[in-house]
Structure 1
Amino acid sequence: MDLTEKEILEKLDSGEIRIFEIEKYTDTANHATDIRRKYIENKTGVDLNHISKYSIDMTDTSKKNIENPIGTVQVPVGVAGPLLIHTEDEEIETYIPLATTEGALLASINRGCSAIRRSGGCNVAILANQMTRAPVLKTKSVTDAKKLKDWIKEHFDEIKEKAESTTSHGKLLKIDPIAIVGRFVYPRFVYETGDSMGMNMVTIATEESLKYIEKENDISILALSGNFCIDKKPSALNLIEGRGKSVVAEVVVPKEVVEKTLKTTTDAIVEVNYAKNLLGSAIAGSYGYNAHYANIVAALFIATGQDPAHVVEGSIGITSAENNDGDLYFSITLPDLPVATVGGGTRLETATEALNLLDAKGSDKVERYASIVGGSVLAGELSLIGALAAGHLARAHKKLGR
């Protein structure tokens, strides 16, 4: 039943219609979004003029990506590059769309891209593609907990069949590790999820397999996620085992490029990396043995429709720097990078354009996208460590991003 805008606003005020029901009474989701925003403006007295301006279609967005929409938030998008990457399957040369409000970040990444190009490009490898879900199961005793762990291992094939019955794309690779704390059991289900980031996929698959496990064992399923996954939190487990795409990237920067482009020396970069990223992170108890992975990951994630909460996982990893006969060997390791080129926020119009700019939209593109993230992080990390070694960090922020 369609109502006029005035009628809907009146019924919202009287309580006859609830704010999340507006779509039922309008012709389009876009119209419902506008009415909801006007209602909030009326209630709060706040003008949402800029939030009201958007070009995406709320029809699918309000069904799949957000509830109670009132508009969008704009984040400036810049471009860095071109970035030259060599992978096992292809050579990639691309400009990188980055959404951020941090002045100097794009300039720094752009300088890193320049250093990489002048070094003949960087090498990137995808080590693993796996998404995890780890429920918590309660047994009656530690003896039963051990028996359940053994049973899961012995019946992996049956569990795998149940899990994969829910998806045509996901594959259960293993259930490992299986942790026990007292009488609680935490089996870590590890899946290959193709071009999808896969959290919804593996959640549904794991739930189905748990029905079988519960039927065959005297246990209680306390929670589908027991924080052993481990999702959207920093984790030593993910640093070691990996999650999402595990990516490594390297470049050998000639001595003259270090000096002319980065304005410093190989030895200075090596020493800063050792003292800052390795020793400094160790004494802080950090899982991020790096300078600023999260900066680059966040800017790419926001531009391309990834889940920004996974930036915390993309922030962990290790940067290494070595003197290679005067040249600089520089590498980054991203063990935990949950990314996708289909589904989720990648379907949004702006994200589609950014992914198309990278030629990384749709099926069979996720490894290309992950490789670009790895190369971009390498560029940003190289430039920042170079700036620190040269004493240029404060100068850059004074000039470009106070």
Structure 2
Amino acid sequence: MTDAETLAERVRTGELRLHELEEHADHDTAAAARRVLLEAETDADLETVGDYAFDAEVADSAIENMIGAAQVPMGVAGPVTVDGGAANGQYRLPLATSEGALLASVNRGLSVIESAGGASARVTKNGMTRAPVFRVEGVVQAAETVEWVGENLEALREAAESTTSHGELLDVEPYVVGDSVFLRFAYDTKDAMGMNMATIATGEACSVVEEHTPASLVALSGNLCSDKKPAAINAVEGRGRSVTADVVIPGEVVEERLHTTADAIAEANTRKNLIGSAKAGSLGFNAHAANVVGAAFLATGQDEAQVVEGANAITTMDARPSEDENGSSDLYASVSLASLEVGTVGGGTKLPTQSEALDVLGLRGGGDPAGSNADALAEVIAVGALAGELSLLAALASRHLASAHADLGR
């Protein structure tokens, strides 16, 4: 028997547990042993799952009970010129997806944006949050806790920042609900997405709160953060990076390239993205921002579950008088993503495929100054989302959506 088969047999007999295999063999052999087990227990053939291009040990911090890799097709859109606070120049955006026509649509939008001279983008707010919940006896003790926190931010900052060489505590916002006190900590996590950093730092700060107030910690995360769930607080206050991208498309470009008018696109946006979303009670007032955010997250190693927050976006479109008095109205287009949680260091960004995608962007690793690479990534993704919004709304306004999918065989 091979080493993998031997390991699999030891699991079958109960001598080893599935998660212990890396203690008895290298990571690739451990993954192979799990595939042997699964193939014996099911009708699955895991040859393709086991055909991955990196050393399994590299993924040790990203996965448990590894059997191989899920390979998602990756394409590239662009180039597009981005005038950002951190991003500056031409970028090609890697996107990983299984949705046919998405890359073509985003690429069309980026091409139109490029023909207009590129897009502007800015990160307007930055702060990864963690919000623990404490128990108190009642509102008197809650008020006492809130008062102490307000007067001792420096003590909390010292405790939180003692756990990290990079993160900075920006603010602590208290919320009281009966005998529950929530403290929403916000951090500048530089080029890391920073969820783990914020959690560890907040845990240290919570010990100080418990020591000096009547509050008792119930849960380090009280869901007011709010992580990986639709939440109005993220839409209003932001989480991670709040970023906006915009562009003005000349009227003649709208007509020649998008086969519609600025007025038609603006009306489609108002009736679909604004009125339709409001009627639906949606937190996202956009066409499909999550499509680009999700594909960019998979390609560049972000936490894919945080696409929930990344879809917290508002798209605006407005017809403006053209500089050419005889021309058609120009189109102002923007997308504002309230809570885009991205990083260029740590987590899945260390995986080989995702590192290569970040290399395509020129944004792998820490930036100079710290945080600039993650800011630039947020700005480029925002421009990609803007392109996706522009392309889809134009397809709807020109009634070409169905025919475009039919033409591409999707």
TM-score range, shorter chain: over 0.9
* Aligned residue number for residue 107 of structure 2: 110
* Aligned residue number for residue 391 of structure 1: 399
* Aligned residue number for residue 116 of structure 2: 119
* Aligned residue number for residue 375 of structure 1: 383
* Aligned residue number for residue 129 of structure 1: 126
* Aligned residue number for residue 325 of structure 2: none
* Aligned residue number for residue 223 of structure 1: 219
* Aligned residue number for residue 361 of structure 1: 364
Is the Cα contact below 8 Å between 1:76 and 1:100 reproduced in 2? yes
Give secondary structure in 2 for the equivalent of 1:53: coil
Per the alignment, do residues 150 and 305 of structure 1 end up closer, same or farther by CA in structure 2, a change over 3 Å counting?
A: same
Is the Cα contact below 8 Å between 1:273 and 1:321 reproduced in 2? yes
1:333 aligns with 2:332: no
Shift of 1:240: 0.9
> Structure 1 CA distance, aligned partners of 2:349 and 2:105?
26
> Structure 2 CA distance, aligned partners of 1:89 and 1:196?
15
Is the Cα contact below 8 Å between 2:85 and 2:376 reproduced in 1? no
* Aligned residue number for residue 71 of structure 1: 68
TM-score by length of 2: 0.95
2:312 to 310, 316, 319: 316
Count of residue pairs the alignment pairs up: 397
Farther-moved stretch of structure 1 (188-197 vs 215-224): 215-224
1:162 aligns with 2:159: yes
CA displacement, residues 36-92 of structure 1 (integer Å, 9 cap, x when unaligned) = 111111122321121111012111312x10000000011111111111111135532
Per the alignment, do residues 308 and 266 of structure 1 end up closer, same or farther by CA in structure 2, a change over 3 Å counting?
A: same
* Aligned residue number for residue 36 of structure 2: 38
* Aligned residue number for residue 9 of structure 1: 8
Shift of 1:219: 2.4
> Structure 2 CA distance, aligned partners of 1:400 and 1:300?
22
1:46-65 matches, within 5 Å, as 46-62=44-60, 64-65=61-62
Farther-moved stretch of structure 1 (222-231 vs 38-47): 38-47
Is the Cα contact below 8 Å between 1:102 and 1:401 reproduced in 2? no
> Which residue identity does 2:54 align to in structure 1?
I
Is the Cα contact below 8 Å between 2:107 and 2:387 reproduced in 1? yes
> Which residue identity does 2:375 align to in structure 1?
E
Q: CA RMSD in A?
A: 1.1
> Which residue identity does 1:5 align to in structure 2?
A
Is the Cα contact below 8 Å between 2:344 and 2:366 reproduced in 1? yes
> Structure 2 CA distance, aligned partners of 1:331 and 1:6?
56
2:143 to 123, 129, 146: 146
> Which residue identity does 1:86 align to in structure 2?
D
> Which residue identity does 2:44 align to in structure 1?
V
* Aligned residue number for residue 301 of structure 1: 297
Shift of 1:218: 2.3
> Structure 2 CA distance, aligned partners of 1:54 and 1:36?
15
Give secondary structure in 1 for the equivalent of 2:365: coil
Per the alignment, do residues 203 and 381 of structure 1 end up closer, same or farther by CA in structure 2, a change over 3 Å counting?
A: same
* Aligned residue number for residue 326 of structure 2: none
1:20 aligns with 2:28: no
* Aligned residue number for residue 174 of structure 1: 171
Unmatched tracts of structure 2, length 5 or more: 322-328, 368-372
> Structure 1 CA distance, aligned partners of 2:282 and 2:386?
19
TM-score by length of 1: 0.97
> Structure 2 CA distance, aligned partners of 1:189 and 1:170?
12
* Aligned residue number for residue 96 of structure 1: 93
> Structure 1 CA distance, aligned partners of 2:5 and 2:282?
55
Shift of 1:324: 1.1
Unmatched tracts of structure 1, length 5 or more: none
1:283 aligns with 2:282: no
Is the Cα contact below 8 Å between 2:4 and 2:36 reproduced in 1? no
> Structure 1 CA distance, aligned partners of 2:312 and 2:400?
25
CA displacement, residues 370-390 of structure 1 (integer Å, 9 cap, x when unaligned) = 111011011111111111100
> Structure 1 CA distance, aligned partners of 2:87 and 2:4?
54
> Structure 2 CA distance, aligned partners of 1:227 and 1:401?
42
* Aligned residue number for residue 208 of structure 2: 212
Per the alignment, do residues 295 and 355 of structure 1 end up closer, same or farther by CA in structure 2, a change over 3 Å counting?
A: same
> Structure 2 CA distance, aligned partners of 1:204 and 1:88?
30
CA displacement, residues 2-47 of structure 1 (integer Å, 9 cap, x when unaligned) = x943432221111011111111111x21111111111111122321
Percent identity between the two aligned chains: 48
1:272 aligns with 2:275: no
Per the alignment, do residues 102 and 5 of structure 1 end up closer, same or farther by CA in structure 2, a change over 3 Å counting?
A: closer
> Structure 2 CA distance, aligned partners of 1:267 and 1:5?
64
> Structure 1 CA distance, aligned partners of 2:111 and 2:253?
9
> Structure 2 CA distance, aligned partners of 1:102 and 1:54?
22
Per the alignment, do residues 76 and 4 of structure 1 end up closer, same or farther by CA in structure 2, a change over 3 Å counting?
A: closer
* Aligned residue number for residue 352 of structure 1: 355
> Which residue identity does 2:93 align to in structure 1?
I
Moved over 6 A (4+): none
Is the Cα contact below 8 Å between 1:30 and 1:57 reproduced in 2? yes
